[in-house]
Amino acid sequence: MNENRLAVLMLLAAAIFWSTSGVLIKLVALHPMAIAGWRSLIAGGVILLLCRKEVKVSWGVNPVLAAACMGLFCICFVVATKLTTAANAIVLQYSASAYVAILAPRMLGEPTRRQDWYFLSLVVAGIALFFFDTLSLRGTMGILVGMVGSLFWAGAMIFLRKSRNGSTAWPIALGNFMAAGLCLPFMFRQAPTSTDWLGLVGLGVISLGAGYAVFAYAIKRVRALEAVLIPSIEPLINPMWVFLATGEAPGLWAFTGGALVLAAVTVRGMVSAYHGRTPSRPVQPVPLVCPTG
């Protein structure tokens, strides 16, 4: 199979794994910082285990910056999910595509093509519709935290691509350990119940561990903008799990916006897979040792 097409499938698989985060976060009755810490601690270990043949420890500037952005994003996402609806939190993450479209040509030499701007404009328009719903102060704070998190997500994509000639699994794992370190003061304030542990293990092993393991493979083989846009199917899958488990539903405007995002990204992913495009700066292919190696 063409490497780019396989990478697209890996990105879609990552989105499915990540989509379980919303429902699991909602079901864990701990402080958001405690949830972020425990899930990242578990996820860091799982990523190192699944990608053990690909992990190469590096303390270079780009891997460390990628890790820092990843860790801060992980924290922001959990906090945003607790403060607003899971649908709002997850869709806001993908406003990062706007930042990547602007920064990638300058920082990575990866051109943002005309068709990318078309799809990107639809994604941004869909996200904008979320603000037409009636919001409480708590919900507004959640949206603001989600927007800050999208900045860190964009930074993670940029610096992971800059680290692509080395190990991408390492900075992702390191970022999760950084997040756990920042959340450490909150992690022992309250003892998790058995239900909490079930949710935390699910978050660490499935949502982040398996999700980031397959993402580590894909990010080496697609452009930064594709890495943000293609997994954007997550905004509709994530709230679906939350609705089925808790009854929490996004507002009409948010649902419409999510549908627009889903349509734009699905078509973009199909176009990318059909043409089998490779990154502007090709790298030597490496064996698929993550996540099954």
Q: What is the predicted pLDDT for the residue at 288?
A: 31
Could you give the CA distance from residue 249 to residue 266 in angstroms, rounded to a whole number?
Answer: 22
Nearest to 81, CA basis, from 239, 268, 274: 239
Q: What is the predicted pLDDT for the residue at 269?
A: 60
Question: Which residues are CB-contacts of 35 (< 8 A; sequence separation ≥ 6)?
Answer: 25, 28, 78, 82, 200, 203
| Polymer length of the chain | 293
Q: What is the predicted pLDDT for the residue at 272?
A: 60
Mean pLDDT of 42-46: 95
Q: What is the C-alpha end-to-end distance of the chain, expressed in Å?
A: 18
Instruction: Map residue 5 onto helix, strand or coil.
Output: helix
> How many angstroms separate the Cα of 139 from the Cα of each of 85, 87, 232, 257?
8, 12, 22, 17
Structural contact between residues 168 and 221, judged by C-beta atoms closer than 8 angstroms: no
The mean predicted confidence, pLDDT, of the chain is 81
pLDDT digits (tens, 9 = 90+) for 68-80: 999 999 999 999 8
- Please, how many CA atoms are within 13 Å of residue 5, restricted to the half-sphere of its CB? 8
pLDDT digits (tens, 9 = 90+) for 117-160: 887 788 778 777 766 765 566 777 887 898 899 899 999 989 99
Q: What is the predicted pLDDT for the residue at 87?
A: 66
Could you give the CA distance from residue 198 to residue 41 in angstroms, rounded to a whole number?
Answer: 15
For tokens 């954007």, the residue is 232
Q: What's the token pair of residue 140? A: 């507004």
SS3 readout for 149-176: HHHHHHHHHHHHHHCCCCCCHHHHHHHH
Structural contact between residues 35 and 25, judged by C-beta atoms closer than 8 angstroms: yes
Structure pTM? 0.77
